[in-house]
């Protein structure tokens, strides 16, 4: 059924409520692949435990992240939606590929440095080697395209390097994935520090718009957004805050910079912030309503998890059979 379709893979950690940046930069665009590609979208709960998690909260957020996938337009009938820990092959392939990943490669990963500083009391081995788990996630499904932001290129470069190294040593085994970085994907910055990317782990709640924030909360956050001391609504040096608001407004309305400038000609930042906030809140209203409906139906979500894990496991099993044979592991028959 899917042999003529290219494979797309992506994953999201259940480590916090997804942000406007996650939505506009990634999830909103995922559904565009559904008809032409075989898509695997994973809730990567194994990645989440590189930092300490409350078990009950992690379970709850796993359900919520799956519900958000669906609420954002990912049809389980067209996409394989599953939870990483439900497919043990992810962890198995990670260990094998750890043996084909160089220490120096992992030590250069910028996210390890960042997370080590933030979690100085828990710099564990998993925090160091989790990029290899990302490599395994991608290669396990013979992925050809990986939708990523420009800041994630380092991880995909590692994936390609490890795949090429394994193929060279063991023979042709893995598809070498390509990055998919659409030029029109919005990169959303912090509302409080517009030179910094919006992050769901930001401790300043005013810096982050979360997909499930209420309309009132979203509007309040935009009203408090950092701009500059001027009053002109336009992009330019020193106007990172206004530029970020223009990016968000354009992502929801489809308007060009020139059209936005014309629309708000003679108006101040207050009017612009309010318009962006209302536009954002209205656009996310359907997602919030659909999420509220889905998250109450635990049986449905578990059914999606089960079917997704079964589908993902079938594909993973084909790859793992080939990998085990290539490296010399024995397999039981029957």
Residue % of the chain over a pLDDT of 90:
66
* Pairing mode, strands 37-43 and 6-12: parallel
Is the pLDDT confidence value at 163 over 70? yes
- Does CATH number 3.30.930.10 belong to domain 205-292? no
pTM: 0.87
At 333 the pLDDT is 80
Is the pLDDT confidence value at 151 over 70? no
Biggest alpha carbon–alpha carbon distance for the chain: 76
The segment(s) of the chain belonging to CATH 1.10.240.10 are: 205-292
- The total number of residues written for the chain in this structure: 334
**Which neighbouring-strand residues pair with 9?**
40
Phi, psi angle pair for 273, to nearest 5°: -60, -40
Structural contact between residues 46 and 84, judged by C-beta atoms closer than 8 angstroms: yes
Phi, psi angle pair for 153, to nearest 5°: -60, -30
- Number of Cβ within a 10 Å radius of residue 143: 23
∠ Cα 127 210 33 (to 5°): 75
Say how far residue 315 (Cα) sits from the centre of its chain: 22
Q: What is the mean pLDDT of the chain?
A: 90
327 vs 67: CA distance, rounded Å:
38
6, 78, 200, 326: the active-site residue: 200
Answer yes or no: 223 catalytic.
no
21 vs 41: CA distance, rounded Å:
18
6, 78, 187, 197: the active-site residue: 197
pLDDT tens string 172-230: 999 999 988 766 566 899 999 998 988 887 889 999 999 999 999 999 999 999 998 87
Phi, psi angle pair for 268, to nearest 5°: -95, 180
6-185+298-327: what CATH class? alpha beta
* Pairing mode, strands 145-147 and 178-180: parallel
Cβ partners under 8 Å of residue 116, min gap 6 = 123, 127
Instruction: Please count the CA atoms within 13 angstroms of the CA of 18 that sit on its side-chain side.
Output: 30
Radius of gyration in angstroms for the set of CA atoms belonging to the chain, rounded to a whole number: 21
> Which residue in 71, 83, 78 sits closest to 23, CA to CA?
71
Answer yes or no: 5 catalytic.
no
pLDDT tens string 86-125: 999 999 999 999 999 999 999 888 777 677 667 677 788 8
Structure token pair of residue 176: 């070498």
Crossing angle between the packed helical segments 269-295 and 298-327, to the nearest 10 degrees: 90
334 vs 332: CA distance, rounded Å:
7
The larger pLDDT score, comparing residue 274 to residue 118, is at 274
Stretch 62-84: mean pLDDT: 95
Crossing angle between the packed helical segments 125-139 and 89-98, to the nearest 10 degrees: 110
The segment(s) of the chain belonging to CATH 3.40.50.620 are: 6-185+298-327
Answer yes or no: 200 catalytic.
yes
The larger pLDDT score, comparing residue 20 to residue 151, is at 20
Structure token pair of residue 35: 């008809």
Is the pLDDT confidence value at 235 over 90? no
At 2 the pLDDT is 47
Phi, psi angle pair for 224, to nearest 5°: -90, 0
28, 38, 115, 273: the active-site residue: 115
């Amino acid at each position: 059924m899917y042999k003529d379709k290219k494979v797309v893979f992506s994953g999201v950690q259940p480590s916090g409520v997804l942000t406007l940046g996650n939505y506009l930069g990634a999830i909103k665009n995922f559904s565009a692949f559904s008809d032409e590609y075989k898509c695997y979208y994973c809730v990567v709960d194994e990645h989440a435990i590189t930092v300490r998690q409350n078990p009950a909260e992690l379970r709850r957020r796993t359900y919520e992240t799956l519900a958000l996938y669906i609420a954002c337009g990912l049809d389980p009938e067209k996409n394989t939606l599953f939870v990483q820990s439900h497919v043990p092959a992810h962890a198995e392939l990670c260990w094998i590929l750890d043996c084909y990943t160089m220490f120096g490669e992992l030590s250069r990963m910028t996210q390890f440095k960042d997370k080590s500083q933030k979690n100085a009391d828990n710099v564990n081995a998993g925090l160091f080697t989790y990029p290899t788990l990302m490599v395994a996630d991608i290669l396990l499904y013979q992925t050809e395209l990986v939708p990523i932001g420009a800041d994630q290129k380092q991880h995909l470069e590692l994936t390609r390097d490890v795949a090429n190294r394994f193929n060279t040593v063991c023979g042709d085994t893995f598809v070498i994935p390509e990055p998919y970085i659409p030029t029109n994907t919005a990169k959303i910055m912090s509302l409080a520090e517009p030179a910094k990317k919006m992050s769901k782990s930001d401790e300043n709640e005013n810096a982050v718009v979360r997909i499930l924030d209420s309309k009132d909360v979203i509007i309040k956050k935009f009203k408090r957004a950092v701009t500059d001391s001027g009053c002109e609504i336009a992009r330019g040096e020193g106007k990172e805050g206004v530029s970020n608001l223009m990016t968000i407004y354009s992502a929801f309305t489809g308007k060009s910079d020139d059209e936005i400038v014309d629309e708000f000609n003679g108006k101040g930042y207050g009017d612009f912030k309010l318009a962006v906030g209302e536009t954002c809140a209205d656009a996310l209203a359907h997602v919030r309503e659909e999420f509220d409906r889905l998250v109450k139906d635990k049986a449905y979500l578990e059914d999606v998890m089960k079917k997704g894990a079964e589908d993902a496991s079938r594909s993973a099993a084909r790859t793992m059979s080939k990998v085990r044979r290539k490296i010399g592991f024995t397999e039981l028959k029957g």
